[in-house]
Structure 1
Amino acid sequence: MSFASAEQARSRWGDVYLAAGARGVSTCGDFLAATALALALQSAGAGGLAVSGLMLAAVLPLVVLAPLTGRLADRVDSRTLLVGAGVAQAGICVVLAYAEGTALIIALVALLACGLAVTQPTLSALLPEMVRRDDLPRATALNQTAGSVGVLVGPALAGLLVGEFGTKVPLLIDGASYLALVAAGLLLRTTRNSRNTHKTATVAWRLRRDPMVLAVTAAVAATIAGVGAVSVVEIFFVRETLGGSTTAFGLVQATWTAGMLAGAWLLTRPARRAADDGALVNGLVLMLGLCCLAVLAGAAVPAVGWLVPLWLAGGVLNGGLNVFLAMVMARRVPAEARGRAFAVQGAAIQGAGMFGYLAGGLLLESFAPRPLVAACGLAGLVVVALVAIPVTRAVRGERKAPRAAWATSAASA
């Protein structure tokens, strides 16, 4: 499996910064629009089901289209995918800015997510091609930082803009942000599947054939399924239970993301120094559990301000586990199959998130937000405890394999 090509003496940091910038700008637009629409629905009196329906629409295409978009990322010129998807998404946002009616808005959000289903595995598969193996942790941190900055700015900006201008301005800004993907597609020197660098993807990669990747994917997905409902409950918890304003809600969401930004860099060195892939996986599971613990503690806060240190700590852990997860995938999946790998893993994780969104919308119809936040954190901790068993087995099996191979070789000698 390759990272930067053998003839490439140095990592292409210019491409890393360009791709990270495109991700940051487009992510900012994504969360700007999503937060604006969620606030608009909540302010108009829509219930939890409407908000969860909006979130489901933003995720469903990533799950359903994963088999197709993963193959596209591995077989079609990456420049074509980025430019085409970026232009289409910009146009959809313009239409969305003038749309009326909850059903039409949700349908357009789903269509917008179809473009994300294409660009997400394309950009993820490009990153390991830009850098040498030793530079991957730093490149991943840069990529995570750009995404975190986008997530950090988007909700806070939405809270300010919705209060002043309504939803139209945030959605038009989101449309302009997708032009960053178009620019990246045109300017990146690193490409996949171009006419000059095309390679037939003959690797028959399957998630289930790698116990380590399967275990870590299942661990993250299962935990998100347990704790994911908090994404729907949070807006009602902050706005209604704690009495926070729209601006306060945006800032609370931004706090978690600020922690992710810091965590991506603070935990880059441990990721680089990990003894093996098993150490990365064990560290990732530990951080999953601590993230859920932060959510559980958040249910007890008496005011919005108390969420800030808890969400900041949770974000640091979240940023670190994202770096660890990207490292495991890039190091273990063959280069020719990375598009499919990232798409399949993303589908599993996003599908688990869909379960959380749906559960959150349904539970809000019968329960108050505070006990639901506590239930989400507790459910996440229970799931982490359960998935730790198969993860530990996978790590032990991985570490025994080299010793078994050495013993067989020594015996035959």
Structure 2
Amino acid sequence: MSFTSGGSSRWTDVGLATAARGIATCGDFLAATTLTLTLQSAGAGGTAVAGVLLAASLPLVLLAPLTGRLADRVDSRTLLVGAGLAQSAICLALAYAAHPLLVVSLVALLASGLAVTQPVLSALIPTMVRAADLPRATALNQTAGTLGVLAGPAVAGFLVGWFGSRVPLLVGAASYLALVLAGLLIRTRRGGARPATSAASSDTATPAGAGANWRLRHDPLLLAMVATLAGVIAAVGAINVIEVFYIRETLGASASVYGLVTGAWPVGVLCGAWIFARLARRFTDDAALVQAGLLLLAGCCLMVLVSVVVPVALLLVPIWLLGGVCNGGDNVFNNLVLARRVPEAARGRAFAALGAAVQGAAMVGYLIGGLLLEVSEPRPLIVACGTAGLLVLLAFARPVRRAARTDRSRLPTPYPPADHEVVLTQPGVS
């Protein structure tokens, strides 16, 4: 495990990385929203729109094993600069693409670039700061991503309304250059034969092969955490498809109210990140963080269940805010546990695996939601989503407790000292 030690955290590098993530995330959602609106307006049909959404998610799942290894084995500066330039060029091509099949193909290539930059940036953050500052750095990183998620669709809607589809895609192409600039300016570097350079020492070498033996299945606590998160997302994720029909048709809300309600959850995520980043500093036991995460996931599921009793859509805003707060807190806890337990040289693979699990589970949720809407009304489906999420948590509660007991009995201290790199292995665990 490698954090900055014996020196101050590199907050300038953290600022550059988080700014790049926020701007690039805004570009991702700007492009996706623009293409969805354009295809729908052109009468391309639901198949083309679904194809775009699938193309934007599938590479993050399929390429995770490859991109995670790239993030660990190739210089982070090379990856950020190369991927940023490639994404900018692809988005520029999208601005002039007309055929739906070409659009879907270019979106898949664009998402492939995200599959590279996402683990690179996530793995860089823990290397930039001292262990005590990691919760704050994680909250900053999550805030940048959330702001990008909020801003992208709003900017796309404005630009498409005023200028059509080409201008927002050109703006999106420019947004990816933030990754190039960050890659050139960030002093902290990791990956390949180059040591992970931190604020403590830019010259301290770490073996290029360190962490090569790390596997998610070797760490029962991490495995239980990722499996639980994926299971809950798969169970509750259908709400993302169902909510538009529930808000617009069942509750009879306008498009503006729908936008207000859907924006409440990401705002809650942002607030939850900062609230729980402060609390996370008090947890020195990884198992306690994972178990606290279960309670936060339960809070998300409960807010989904409560949402079915509202008579008007505006009352969903405080409910979605609370659900987002729980979601943001769980994200902070998950990232903190991952950064603490995974050797520095394997963090790219670890964050790619977590991202793949989340994206894959979300895709399952989208598919389930789309199929169930053909045979049922939105309100009972929302009840089913919330109930299914709680049942998944109940099913995973015992494995998580068992993994927590095993972890506490194995380690003499809550987690390894921040200036040592440790590979956690337990033979026989799959």
Matches within 5 A, 1:278-293: 278-293=287-302
The question of 1:393 aligning with 2:402 is answered yes
In structure 2, what is the equivalent of residue 124 of structure 1?
A: 122
In structure 2, what is the equivalent of residue 411 of structure 1?
A: none
The 8 Å contact of residues 30 and 154 in structure 1, kept in 2 or not, is answered as yes
Moved more, 73-82 or 379-388: 379-388
In structure 1, what is the equivalent of residue 32 of structure 2?
A: 34
CA deviation map 1:268-320 (0-9, x unaligned): 12111014001100111111111121122223433332221111111111111
The question of 1:373 aligning with 2:382 is answered yes
Moved more, 232-241 or 141-150: 232-241
Equivalent position to 1:361, from 357, 370, 375: 370
The alpha-carbon deviation at position 40 of structure 1 amounts to: 4.4
Q: Which amino acid aligns with 1:205?
A: W
CA deviation map 1:54-99 (0-9, x unaligned): 3322111111111111110001010111111111111211222333
In structure 1, what is the equivalent of residue 235 of structure 2?
A: 226
In structure 2, what is the equivalent of residue 407 of structure 1?
A: none
In structure 2, what is the equivalent of residue 151 of structure 1?
A: 149
The 8 Å contact of residues 22 and 148 in structure 2, kept in 1 or not, is answered as yes
The 8 Å contact of residues 192 and 208 in structure 2, kept in 1 or not, is answered as no
Equivalent position to 1:111, from 101, 109, 112: 109
The alpha-carbon deviation at position 241 of structure 1 amounts to: 3.8
Equivalent position to 2:316, from 307, 332, 342: 307
In structure 2, what is the equivalent of residue 200 of structure 1?
A: 208
The alpha-carbon deviation at position 3 of structure 1 amounts to: 0.8
* In structure 2, distance between residues paired with 1:346 and 1:376: 22
The question of 1:269 aligning with 2:282 is answered no
Q: Where is the helix percentage greater, Structure 1 or Structure 2? A: 1
Q: Give the gaps of 5 or more residues in structure 2.
A: 196-204, 414-430
Moved more, 114-123 or 21-30: 21-30
In structure 2, what is the equivalent of residue 326 of structure 1?
A: 335
SS in 1 for 2:281: helix
* In structure 2, distance between residues paired with 1:358 and 1:291: 20
Aligned-pair Cα RMSD in Å: 2.3
* In structure 2, distance between residues paired with 1:243 and 1:37: 27
In structure 2, what is the equivalent of residue 3 of structure 1?
A: 3
1:275–1:193 Cα change, 3 Å: closer
* In structure 2, distance between residues paired with 1:378 and 1:216: 20
* In structure 1, distance between residues paired with 2:27 and 2:276: 27
SS in 2 for 1:9: coil
In structure 2, what is the equivalent of residue 63 of structure 1?
A: 61
The 8 Å contact of residues 291 and 318 in structure 1, kept in 2 or not, is answered as yes
* In structure 1, distance between residues paired with 2:112 and 2:244: 25
Q: Which amino acid aligns with 1:200?
A: A
CA deviation map 1:207-239 (0-9, x unaligned): 110001000000101111111122222334334
The 8 Å contact of residues 156 and 251 in structure 1, kept in 2 or not, is answered as no
Moved more, 166-175 or 132-141: 166-175
Q: Which amino acid aligns with 2:103?
A: I
The 8 Å contact of residues 55 and 357 in structure 1, kept in 2 or not, is answered as no
* In structure 1, distance between residues paired with 2:168 and 2:247: 21
SS in 1 for 2:209: coil
1:301–1:367 Cα change, 3 Å: same
The alpha-carbon deviation at position 46 of structure 1 amounts to: 6.9
The 8 Å contact of residues 193 and 208 in structure 2, kept in 1 or not, is answered as no
The alpha-carbon deviation at position 126 of structure 1 amounts to: 0.4
Q: Which amino acid aligns with 1:372?
A: L
In structure 2, what is the equivalent of residue 294 of structure 1?
A: 303
* In structure 1, distance between residues paired with 2:272 and 2:111: 27
* In structure 2, distance between residues paired with 1:192 and 1:210: 23
Equivalenced residue count is: 402
* In structure 2, distance between residues paired with 1:172 and 1:39: 16
Equivalent position to 1:340, from 333, 349, 356: 349
The alpha-carbon deviation at position 331 of structure 1 amounts to: 0.4
In structure 1, what is the equivalent of residue 198 of structure 2?
A: none
Q: Which amino acid aligns with 1:280?
A: L
The question of 1:214 aligning with 2:216 is answered no
In structure 2, what is the equivalent of residue 258 of structure 1?
A: 267
Q: Give the gaps of 5 or more residues in structure 1.
A: 405-413
Matches within 5 A, 1:226-245: 226-245=235-254
Give the share of equivalent positions with the same residue, in percent.
Answer: 62
SS in 2 for 1:267: helix
TM-score normalised per structure 2: 0.87
* In structure 2, distance between residues paired with 1:299 and 1:131: 43
CA deviation map 1:191-215 (0-9, x unaligned): 1136653741242001110001000
